[in-house]
Amino acid sequence: MSARSSRKARGDRTTRASSKVTALTLRWVGGPGGYLSLLDQTLLPARVKYLRIRELPVVIDAIRRLAVRGAPAIGVAAAYGLVLGLREEAPATAAAFRRSLARVKKRLAASRPTAVNLFWSLDRMAARAGALAGGEYSFRELLRGLLDEAREIHEEDQRLCRAIGEHGGKLLRSGWNVLTHCNAGALATGGMGTALAVVYSAVETGKKIRVFADETRPLLQGARLTSWELMEAGVDVTVACDNAAASLMSTGQVHCVVVGADRIAANGDVANKIGTYGVAILAREHGIPFYVAAPSTTFAPHTASGDGIPIEQRASAEVIDGFGVKTSPPGVDVYNPAFDVTPARYVTGFITEQGLLEPPYKRNIARLFKTAGTHG
Ligand code: MRU
């Protein structure tokens, strides 16, 4: 059902009272011989089409071209991708298995550089493989064990999202307008999202929340994805072009900003979709709280500051020939970083599965990792 028809079925937007997350981003179907079913987000909102993926290069391609995107969802897809890659290679000995594992992991790790969940997930899968490889070599058993681990990563992400939503939902007051950038919803995770989980939870408890979704140039994750999934869930959403954020804030129409993250350094600097930094500065200027909602799997405690976060540069065509419309003269130079870094001083707080994390960030992020384990 399309967002439009499901909205019709529910009735007028002003009567919407509760939210129900309907977007299903990815899932594994069957046992070790099964496949990865993945919603192709490049086609949204025009088409809802699931890809049936059985081969490693197709998973890598799906991550690169953003058919699956958003830090936690990339991590989950990579875990299933590792299973597919090993299945293809079917190594006959323990030594061959170790070589295959390293090769497949390296190929997946090269798909996108910024979201740390990708590397966290691959490291966790490799650690599981190491733990499973102790006894007599059985490829069947190893593959089954790794599929279980990938499923566990997926289910864990669902729990983390739910907990982020519950903690963050309490911060929102009924009647508030929340501005978000990019898509940090169900489409970006294995569960109900991070920034949007905060909204979903608030709405579930009866609060009246309206979301302003920044369009998010150049790939329009806000216009295409955030608006789609919020409409599907019955949440009041308004799309605004990126350059309307200052006007919305200065006219008192935004009470709070909530965004997701791709990587959070040990000092609290945040890499997120290009444009997030500008939104954070605007929020500070207008005295509006700026929250970053992210699970512990998005923190990189071994990356000291934002300077150490690799920022992905993407193809110029996304800016000057996006969605088949030529908007600049061919051959013009283009600057197209996929992410920027918001300095920690602009962040009011991090909404994590363990609750609200406030300054001083260096100390409090280190504490988070005493309880959540280390990586990154
Ligand atoms: O390039 P994308 O679409 O993968 O970028 C996604 C974002 O920047 C999200 O805000 C971030 O990954 C958080 S998703 C919960």
CATH number (domain holding residue 247) = 3.40.50.10470
- Nearest ligand 1 atom to the CA of 69 is 4
| Cα maximum dimension of the chain | 68
Instruction: Please check whether residue 360 lies inside any domain of the structure.
Output: yes
Instruction: Please check whether residue 67 lies inside any domain of the structure.
Output: yes
Return the HEC string of 274-314.
CCHHHHHHHHHHCCCCEEEECCHHHEECCCCCHHHCCCCEC
182 alpha carbon to ligand 1 midpoint, in Å? 7
Q: Answer yes or no: do 118 and 58 share one domain.
A: yes
Mean pLDDT of the chain: 94
Q: Is the pLDDT of residue 12 over 70?
A: no
Instruction: Please check whether residue 9 lies inside any domain of the structure.
Output: no
By most ligand atoms within 8 Å of CB, the mutation choice from 262, 309, 351 for ligand 1 is 262
Q: Answer yes or no: do 199 and 342 share one domain.
A: yes
Model pLDDT, residue 372: 58
| CA 83 centroid distance within chain | 21
Model pLDDT, residue 20: 82
For ligand 1, atom 8: residue with the closest CA: 273
By most ligand atoms within 8 Å of CB, the mutation choice from 182, 192, 225, 290 for ligand 1 is 182
CATH code for position 109? 1.20.120.420
Q: Answer yes or no: do 229 and 120 share one domain.
A: no
Q: Which residue has the tokens 């500065």?
A: 281
Q: Answer yes or no: do 246 and 354 share one domain.
A: yes
For ligand 1, atom 10: residue with the closest CA: 260
Q: How confident is the model at residue 375 (pLDDT cuts 50, 70, 90)?
A: low
40-55 per-position pLDDT tens digit = 999 999 999 999 999 9
Q: Answer yes or no: do 144 and 223 share one domain.
A: no
Cα-based torsion angle of the residue sequence 77, 190, 227, 38 in order, rounded to the nearest 10 degrees: 40
Model pLDDT, residue 371: 62
DSSP state, residue 42: G
Percentage of the chain lying above the pLDDT 70 cut: 94
Residue 197: strand, helix, or coil? helix
CA–CA separation, 265 and 362 (whole Å): 9
At residue 38, φ and ψ (nearest 5 deg) are -135, 125
Query: What amino acid positions are annotated as catalytic residues?
Result: 262
77-121 per-position pLDDT tens digit = 999 999 999 999 999 999 999 999 999 999 999 999 999 999 999
Residue 182 region by backbone torsions, left for phi larger than 0, else alpha for psi between -120 and 50, else beta: left
pTM over 0.75: yes
The residues facing 53 across adjacent strands are 36
- The mean pLDDT value for 161-178 works out to 98
Q: Answer yes or no: do 210 and 297 share one domain.
A: yes
Q: Which of 354, 3, 16, 18 is nearest to 202 (CA)?
A: 18
Q: Is the pLDDT of residue 325 over 70?
A: yes
**Burial class for 271, CB neighbours closer than 10 Å (0-12, 13-18, 19+):** buried
- Nearest ligand 1 atom to the CA of 189 is 15
Q: Answer yes or no: do 181 and 313 share one domain.
A: yes
216 alpha carbon to ligand 1 midpoint, in Å? 11
Q: Are 213 and 254 in contact (CB under 8 A)?
A: no
Q: Which of 263, 267, 258, 279 is nearest to 344 (CA)?
A: 267
Q: Answer yes or no: do 245 and 349 share one domain.
A: yes
234 alpha carbon to ligand 1 midpoint, in Å? 22
Q: Which residue has the tokens 């909404």?
A: 351
Model pLDDT, residue 370: 81
Q: Answer yes or no: do 152 and 179 share one domain.
A: no
CA–CA separation, 116 and 28 (whole Å): 22
Q: Answer yes or no: do 40 and 144 share one domain.
A: yes
DSSP state, residue 185: B
Q: Which residue, of 161, 178, 207, is where some domain finishes?
A: 161
- Please give the radius of gyration of the chain, using alpha carbons only, rounded to the nearest integer: 20
CA–CA separation, 50 and 187 (whole Å): 13
181 alpha carbon to ligand 1 midpoint, in Å? 9
| Range of the structural domain that residue 154 is part of | 24-161
71 alpha carbon to ligand 1 midpoint, in Å? 6
Q: Answer yes or no: do 115 and 204 share one domain.
A: no
206 alpha carbon to ligand 1 midpoint, in Å? 28
DSSP state, residue 321: S
- Nearest ligand 1 atom to the CA of 115 is 12
Q: Is the pLDDT of residue 11 over 50?
A: no
306-321 per-position pLDDT tens digit = 999 999 999 999 999 9
Percentage of the chain lying above the pLDDT 90 cut: 90
The residues facing 257 across adjacent strands are 179, 290
Instruction: Please check whether residue 17 lies inside any domain of the structure.
Output: no
How many domains does the chain contain in total?
2
Model pLDDT, residue 19: 79
Pocket of ligand 1 (CB under 6 A): 66, 69-72, 115, 182, 184, 188-189, 194, 221, 260-262, 272-273, 338
Residue 11 region by backbone torsions, left for phi larger than 0, else alpha for psi between -120 and 50, else beta: left
276-297 per-position pLDDT tens digit = 999 999 999 999 999 999 999 9
CA–CA separation, 24 and 39 (whole Å): 7
By most ligand atoms within 8 Å of CB, the mutation choice from 39, 41, 111, 183 for ligand 1 is 183
User: What are the angstrom distances between the C-alpha of 49 and each of 46, 151, 355?
Assistant: 10, 22, 35
pLDDT higher for 21 or 78?
A: 78
Q: Is the pLDDT of residue 4 over 50?
A: no
- The mean pLDDT value for 234-244 works out to 98
Model pLDDT, residue 135: 85
User: What are the angstrom distances between the C-alpha of 4 and each of 65, 122, 176, 195?
Assistant: 26, 38, 24, 23
At residue 97, φ and ψ (nearest 5 deg) are -65, -45
Q: Answer yes or no: do 316 and 177 share one domain.
A: yes
Model pLDDT, residue 373: 53
